[in-house]
A and B are shown apart, each in its own frame.
Chain A
C-alpha cells in the first residue's frame, strides 16, 4: 500500500518537472503583477510626497488669504489714514423648509429655547403652509451657531453680505451704495465695483476723515448763520490733484439706504453746474498773462462804469471803482468792465482754448460717475465780454478747483482724484507758462490781505491765504433770479501753493445778528451782514475752515526739504 503511494508521489513530482516551462511563464505573470502593485504604491507615495512639499513651500500670506476667501466678497474702503469708510460684514439669516421637518413639535420646542421672544403662533402657521420662510434675518453669530448646532435638516442657514458705513453722512456723496446683489449702484461703489469685488486689499481714498468732518461742521454752522439751502466745499492738493475733502450739503446717512429723489441732495461739487461769477476773472487774467497781452502793471485808462452789449447793460458792482486801473487792480477790485477789456485783448478763440486747456469748459473725467456737464457756449463778441467777468459760463466746483490748481501750481496739468495711488507715474505736463503762477499768486494774496481786496475775512495769520470771490445770481430755467451762489476760492500758502479750498453757499441770506471780526489786527467788530456777497458769506466761512484745518494740514501734510 505504502509503495503504491510512494509511486504516486513520484509521479506527481515528475508532472511538476514536466511543466517547468509553463511555471516560468506563471512566474513572469506574477512578476508583472508585483511590478504593477509596486508602481501603484510608488505613485501614491509620490503624490503624497508632492503634497508635503507643497504645504512646506506655501507662504503664510497665501494660506491666510486662502482662508479668507468668501463667496460674496467686497473689500473695504478706507481713507488716507486707513480709517474705515465702508466695510462689508456677513450677516446670518436662517430659514426653514417645512417639507424637510420630521417632527414639528420637537423643532418648535428647540427654536423656542433659542428665540424666546419670537411669536411662535406665526411660525406654526408658516410651517403648516409647507413653503420656505425665514425665521430670522441678520442674526448674531452666537445665535446663528446655536441654530446650526441643532442639526435639523429643515433649517437652512444663509450668509449675505451687508455694507456698513461707520462715518454715516460724512462721505455720502462720494462713496455711494450697493444693491442687494453686491453690485455698486452709485459713487465709488459703482465706479470701482470690479476692483472692490476682486482686490483683497482695501480701496484707499485720498480723503481725510478728520478734515472732512471739520469742514462739514463749519458748513453746517454756516447753514445756521446764512440760512442757505445747500453748501459745498472741496479741498485739493494743487500739485497732485489729490482731494483731501469733498462735502456737499444736505447729505444723507448711507446706512439708512433711503431712495432720495429731492434734487437739493445733488452732489454740489461734482454734479451741480453753476455760474460762479467773478471767480472766472482770474482765468481771464491768467489767459492774458499766458498770451503776453498784459502784465500785472499794464494800465487801463478811462474805464466806463457801464457798457452795453447787444442792448444789455454791463455795469460795475461797486460804482466807486476808479476809472484808471492797472490789470492787477482790476483783479483785486473785481472790476467787470476792466475784465471785459482784458478779455477783448485776448480774443474769443484764445480765451476759449485757455479755458479748455485748464479743464473748465467740457465734462471732466472723474473717479465717480456723478459728474455734471458745463452748458455749451455760443461764442460771440457779447459772450466774450460776459465770460471775461464770469457770467454766461458754467462749470462744476470740481473743475473750478482744477483750474485754480493749474494756474497756481506753475502751470502743470493735474487730474483731480479720490483714489490714493502708490505712485503717480504721470509725467508732469506744463500747459501754461511758468511765470503765470509767479505773477498771479501774489495778486491772489493781495485780494485777501489788502483793504481793496474782497476777501479780507479769510486773512488768517500764518497761512498766506490768497483767493478770489464770486457772487453770481442763480438762473432758473434760463432766467436770473434774486437768489445767489456765493463762492470763494482760496489758494494757500501763496508763496508756494499746496492747497486749493473752495467754499460755495447756495442761496445764503444776510444775518442781522452775526458778528464779524476783522482780521487786520485792528480788533474791530461788525454786526450784521451788510451785503449778500461772497466777501461777507463764503469768505467768512472759508476763514473759519482754514483756522480749524490749518494745523492739521501744516503738521500732518508737511513736506520737509
Chain B
C-alpha cells in the first residue's frame, strides 16, 4: 500500500510538473509574442508620430498653405471673441475682455 502510494504520488507529481511546465511555457511564449508585437507597434507608432509632427509643424503647415492659397491669414480680433457660460440651464454670453 505504501509503495503504491509512493509510486502514485511520484507519478502524480511528474504529471503535474509536466502540465505546469507546459502551461508556463505556453504563457511565456504568449507573453513574448505580446511583448514583441507591442514593441513593433510602439516603434511603428513612434515613427508615425514623428512623421505627423514633422508634417504638421507650423513651418510645414504655412508652406502648404502658401503653396495652395495666396491669401494672407486674417487676424482674429479679440473683441469679436465671446465666452459662453451655462448657469442653471441659462446660457450667458460674456465679452472676452471684461475691462476693455
Which A residues have a C-beta under 8 Å from some C-beta of B? 31, 34, 37-38, 41-42, 44-45, 48-49, 51-52, 55, 63-64, 66-68, 83-84, 87, 89, 164, 166-168, 170, 209-210, 213-214, 461-464, 493, 495, 547-548, 550-551, 554-555, 558, 560
Contact = CB atoms under 8 A, between A and B. Distances in A.
Nearest to A555: B81
A89 B35 CA distance: 19
B78 A63 contact: no
A41 B17 contact: yes
Given A42-B13, A67-B35, A547 B99 contact: no
Interface residues of B, number: 40
A270 B100 CA distance: 35
Contacts of B31: 55, 63
B16 A45 contact: yes
Nearest to A58: B31
Main secondary structure of the interface of B (DSSP, over half): helix
B89 interface: no
B49 A67 contact: no
Contacts of A68: 38-39, 42
Nearest to B75: A547
Interface string B34-45: 111011001000
B63 to A, nearest CB: 12
A63 B42 CA distance: 13
B89 to A, nearest CB: 19
A87 B50 CA distance: 8
Best-surrounded residue of B9, B24, B79 (most CB of chain A within 10 A) = B24
A56 to B, nearest CB: 8
Contact of B38 (A64, A166, A168, A560): A64
Contact of B42 (A34, A38, A64): A64
Contacts of A67: 35-36, 38-39, 42
A41 B19 CA distance: 12
A170 B59 CA distance: 9
Given A41-B13, A87-B46, A464-B100, A34 B81 contact: no
A312 B90 CA distance: 69
B97 interface: yes
Contacts of B76: 551
A209 B50 contact: no
Given A52-B27, A168-B59, A554-B81, A34 B10 contact: yes
Contacts of B77: 461-462
29 contacts: A37-B10, A41-B13, A41-B14, A45-B13, A45-B20, A48-B17, A48-B24, A52-B24, A63-B31, A64-B38, A67-B39, A68-B39, A83-B57, A84-B49, A87-B46, A87-B50, A167-B57, A167-B59, A209-B57, A213-B57, A213-B59, A462-B78, A463-B78, A550-B78, A551-B75, A551-B76, A554-B81, A554-B96, A558-B83
A213 B58 contact: yes
Given A41-B13, A167-B57, A49 B20 contact: yes
Contacts of A548: 75
Contact of A461 (B10, B13, B53, B79): B79
Contacts of A83: 53, 57
Nearest to B44: A141
A44 B24 CA distance: 12
Given A463-B78, A493-B97, A551-B78, 19 more contacts: A34-B6, A37-B10, A52-B27, A55-B31, A64-B38, A67-B39, A68-B38, A84-B49, A164-B50, A213-B57, A213-B59, A461-B78, A462-B77, A464-B97, A495-B99, A550-B78, A551-B75, A558-B83, A560-B83
Given A52-B20, A67-B39, A167-B59, A462 B10 contact: no
Interface of B: 6, 9-10, 13-14, 16-17, 20-21, 23-24, 27-28, 31, 34-36, 38-39, 42, 46-47, 49-50, 53-54, 57-59, 75-79, 81, 83, 96-97, 99-100
Best-surrounded residue of A45, A64, A83, A547 (most CB of chain B within 10 A) = A45
Nearest to A164: B50
A165 to B, nearest CB: 10
Contacts of B6: 31, 34, 38
B20 A166 contact: no
Contacts of B14: 41
A44 to B, nearest CB: 5
B34 A166 contact: no
Contacts of B47: 89
Contacts of B9: 38
A410 B16 CA distance: 74
Given A41-B17, A48-B20, A67-B36, A84 B50 contact: yes
A213 B63 CA distance: 13
A213 B50 CA distance: 18
A36 to B, nearest CB: 11
